[in-house]
Amino acid sequence: MKAQNFANYHIRKWYSFTEETLANESGQLADGEPLFKYVIAAAIHNPYAGRFSQSLDELIDASPELGHEFGRRIQALAAGRAIVSYGKACLVGANSEYEHGNAFLTNPAADPVRAALGGGKSWVPSTGKRGAPGVTIDIPLAHKDALYVRSHYDTISASFGDGPASDEVIIIWAFATRGRLHARLGGLTAEAIKGDNGLT
C-alpha cells in the first residue's frame, strides 16, 4: 500500500492546463470574450487495482475532500473568470476497472465543485476509459445550470504522458468560461435560462 498524502488517497501528481481560443476554426475572431478552457487532473493510486471488491468505499468516502480540492484549484486557475460550463472524466490504468474511476466522480465529489463555482443546477457530463500512459481522452462540457443550452456543448482533449500507471486512476475535471465561438444552431440561450431544474 502506498502512503496516503491527501485524505485517504495517495496522489502522485496534479496536472493543470489552460486553453485560450481567440478565433474559431474558420478564422472568425471571437464574438465577444475569448473562450478559456481549463483542465485539472490528479493521478491517484488505486488500492483496488488487480482485484475485485464489492465495496469501493476506499475511493468514495474521501471523494468530497477531493472535490473541494478540485474546486479550490479551478478558482485559482481561472483567476477571477466566471466558469459557466463543466465536465468530468476518468482514465483508468490497465489493472483497474472502469468502475473504480467512476467511484471518484459521484455526487459527493461533484457537489463541492459546484459550490466552488457558485452553484450548478445541471448534472455534470462525464466519460472515461481504460488506457495506457499518454492515452487521449475527450472530456465533454455543458452549461452548469441548464443542460439544454446547445451553444455550450463542447469538448476538450487531454492526455498525460506519464499516466495512468497500471495501478492508477486519473481523475479529470474540465471547465469553460463561455459557449463555443460563433455558436449558431439555435435552441435555448444562456440568457434565457430559468435555472430551476438543471435542464432549462
SS (H, E, C) the chain: CCCCCECCECEEEEEEEEEEECECCCCCECCCCCEEEEEEEEEEECCCCCCCCCCCHHHHCCHHHHHHHHHHHHHHHHCCCCCCEEEEEEEECCCCCHHHHHHCCCHHHHHHHHHHCCCCCCCCCEEEEECCCCCEEEEEEEECCCCCCHHHCEEEEEECCCCCCCCEEEEEEEEECCCCCCCCCCCCCHHHCCCCCCCC
3-state secondary structure string across 112-164: HHHHHCCCCCCCCCEEEEECCCCCEEEEEEEECCCCCCHHHCEEEEEECCCCC
Pairing of strands 126-130, 85-92: parallel
Q: What are the beta bridge partners of residue 35?
A: 21
Which pairing describes strands 136-143 and 85-92: parallel, antiparallel, or unpaired?
Answer: antiparallel
- Taken as a whole, the chain contains a residue count of 200
Domain spans of the chain, in order of start: 11-192
Q: What is the pLDDT of residue 156?
A: 99
Residue 107 CB contacts under 8 Å (≥ 6 apart), including other chains: none
Q: Model pTM?
A: 0.96
> Distance (Å, rounded) from C-alpha 143 to C-alpha 100?
26
User: What is the amino acid identity at position 65?
Assistant: E
Q: Which CATH class is domain 11-192?
A: alpha beta
pLDDT along the chain (200 residues), means of 10: 92 98 98 99 97 95 97 98 99 97 96 96 97 98 96 98 98 99 93 86
Joined grid coordinates for residue 18: 489552460
